[in-house]
Structure 1
Amino acid sequence: MRGRELYQLTQLANRYLNSQVVAQVQEAWTRRGDEQVRIERQRRRLARKRAWASRWLTAWLVITMLCGLLIVGVLTGAVAEGDVSALFGAIAAAMVTAVITFRSTLKLAMSKNAQREFDTRHPPPGLPAAAAAAPAALPPKGSAAREPMQRLAEAEKALAQVLAQLSGTASMPAAVPVESVAQAQTTSAEAATALRAVSGQLVAVELAKDHAPPLERGPLVEGIARLREQLDEGLDGYRSLVAAAGRVVAASSAPGPKQELTEATDHLAGLAVALRELSDAAG
């Protein structure tokens, strides 16, 4: 299929996405977005508890050390020489602060464990694709699909990091709605899957060409060129999403550029649909 035909198919896919199905998808994403907002709110609450537990532990450690210095001062005569009541008072204060310090240490450890368990159940946005998923195997060396798949793997890592920035942290609010980031993640994953399916077809055609009689290799060579064009076009769409997300991070204080992420996501969704239909048709 020529690039013109692929463009027409992409336009049809975009019109399809803008129909009634989009309303259903947006409604589903809204429901999921509400859940994501609740999860992120709880994540920030746990992070604040951990931060405050760390601060209180530091404060009580300092007080305990001061009480210890006071005891040493009384014993050496540097402070309240010969005053037994001062000595017992310093010891009592040191014991109290030591107990409070121990309890603060336990509270900090519990906060860390709670945050670790929560992150295990609900991985932060952007991390699953980069850390949990095993890297996909690249096509063989010499294959026309190897270089695009290398660029796709690099783009996936870059997108995961950029979307993690857009999701916000405990100290930095999210630059875009949580549902927009989640939609970009899902769409990028679908597009990457479609691109890898086309890559698998390209490798298979290359293998067939290598074992075909010389007079029958012409159509296979043309098929390899068409599949490579599809890979390049789909990869350009994927990298456009990375660029749009990067621009939103760079201009997070301005309201205008944030729309770019939605537009790039919609465009990539159309490419993903077109690539899947091409892959299904070839299969």
Structure 2
Amino acid sequence: MARADDLRRLIALAQQFRGPVVDHAKLVQDALAKRTDPALQRERQRRRLARKRAWASRWTTVWALVTAICLVYVVAAFSGAVGDNESAIVFIIIGLFTGTFAVRAGLRMRGLTRAQQSLEPGAGDPLVVTRYALPPKSSLARAPIERLTEAESTLAELLTQISRGASVPAESVEHTRRTGAEAALVLRRVAAQLHAVERARDHAPPLERAPLAEAVRQLRTQLDEGVDAYGSLLAAAGRVLAASSLGAPTQDLTSATDHLAGLALALRDLSPEA
């Protein structure tokens, strides 16, 4: 417990070495990561399609209403109730134009509806992975986070394949996906703290570097353990996919998910918020 308290104090001390230039650089990196995030791009595209579909629906209604009015007038004119045949011909021409526009607007609305539905989250949709900026190559956090990034992409693909089958409940797959995302976020927070302590160590007086170097070692150990646990979840997902394809699903995925959730909770309790 004392070691955990010392580690918290060292990390808090390291946070003081974050200068405004580093903070602005991080903001720029986060903004670029969000801009290229596939999930956000997908959501922006879905909203654009929704707006276009709304306008197509309005124009379909307008043209259809005008066409219906022209049709009623033509029927009434030929029955002798209103106007004459010449005015009926004019309304027939107008109705043909507006009817054509109504059909075109309706077809466009139908196409936009299908495109929008294809972007809606569903069981068969591929699970996207948010892209984050990697730590610098000089940081000990770089290699574990590279492993984590590759593991996230593979896990998303495995869970997509598992969700398309009927052997594993959808709520179990969603629980695994959510737990993996939360654990990855915590691990990236630990990586950011590791890099901060590294900078503090490099700028500290020589006689004060030893405790910071020990904190770097401990954080790297925690990061490696967390990424290894994420890899275990990945392996369990692979076993579940193989077993479900043979009609014999296992409980590996649930066990590995619970283990990873416990580890993420422990890391979150130990590490202060960045």
TM-score using structure 2 length: 0.57
* Counterpart-to-counterpart distance in 1, 2:111 and 2:186: 39
Amino acid at match of 2:132: A
Deviation of 1:121 (Å): 2.8
Q: Secondary structure at the match of 1:127?
A: coil
**1:122 has 2:118 as partner:** no
* Counterpart-to-counterpart distance in 2, 1:183 and 1:175: 16
Deviation of 1:117 (Å): 1.4
Amino acid at match of 1:148: P
Structure 1 residues 246 and 110: alpha-carbon distance in aligned structure 2, compared to 1, 3 A threshold: farther
* Counterpart-to-counterpart distance in 1, 2:211 and 2:126: 42
Alignment partner, residue 139 of structure 2:
143
- Residues 136-172 of structure 1 show CA distances to partners (whole Å, capped at 9, x for unaligned) of 001111100000000000000000000000010xxxx
What are the equivalent positions in structure 2 for 1:67-86 lying under 5 Å apart? none
Structure 1 residues 257 and 167: alpha-carbon distance in aligned structure 2, compared to 1, 3 A threshold: closer
Stretches of structure 2 lacking an aligned partner (at least 5 in a row): 5-102
What are the equivalent positions in structure 2 for 1:258-273 lying under 5 Å apart? 258-273=250-265
Q: Secondary structure at the match of 1:153?
A: helix
Structure 1 residues 187 and 251: alpha-carbon distance in aligned structure 2, compared to 1, 3 A threshold: same
Q: 2:220 aligns with which of 228, 232, 243?
A: 228
* Counterpart-to-counterpart distance in 1, 2:197 and 2:120: 42
Structure 1 residues 112 and 175: alpha-carbon distance in aligned structure 2, compared to 1, 3 A threshold: farther
* Counterpart-to-counterpart distance in 2, 1:121 and 1:220: 47
Amino acid at match of 1:271: L
Q: 2:160 aligns with which of 150, 158, 164?
A: 164
- Residues 38-95 of structure 1 show CA distances to partners (whole Å, capped at 9, x for unaligned) of xxxxxxxxxxxxxxxxxxxxxxxxxxxxxxxxxxxxxxxxxxxxxxxxxxxxxxxxxx
Structure 1 residue runs of 4 or more that deviate by more than 6 Å after TM superposition: 109-112
Deviation of 1:127 (Å): 3.2
Structure 1 residues 123 and 256: alpha-carbon distance in aligned structure 2, compared to 1, 3 A threshold: closer
What are the equivalent positions in structure 2 for 1:159-238 lying under 5 Å apart? 159-168=155-164, 173-238=165-230
Say what the alpha-carbon RMSD is for the aligned residues. Answer: 2.8
Alignment partner, residue 242 of structure 1:
234
* Counterpart-to-counterpart distance in 1, 2:258 and 2:114: 34
Deviation of 1:256 (Å): 5.2
Deviation of 1:250 (Å): 1.1
Matched-pair contact (CA < 8 Å) for 1:175–1:252: yes
TM-score using structure 1 length: 0.56
Amino acid at match of 1:239: G
Stretches of structure 1 lacking an aligned partner (at least 5 in a row): 6-102
Matched-pair contact (CA < 8 Å) for 1:2–1:226: no
**1:251 has 2:250 as partner:** no
Alignment partner, residue 150 of structure 2:
154
- Residues 163-213 of structure 1 show CA distances to partners (whole Å, capped at 9, x for unaligned) of 000010xxxx33310000000000000000000010010000000011001
Structure 1 residues 274 and 151: alpha-carbon distance in aligned structure 2, compared to 1, 3 A threshold: same
Structure 1 residues 128 and 246: alpha-carbon distance in aligned structure 2, compared to 1, 3 A threshold: closer
Amino acid at match of 1:179: E
* Counterpart-to-counterpart distance in 2, 1:253 and 1:141: 40
* Counterpart-to-counterpart distance in 2, 1:235 and 1:2: 25
* Counterpart-to-counterpart distance in 2, 1:205 and 1:149: 16
* Counterpart-to-counterpart distance in 1, 2:2 and 2:188: 19
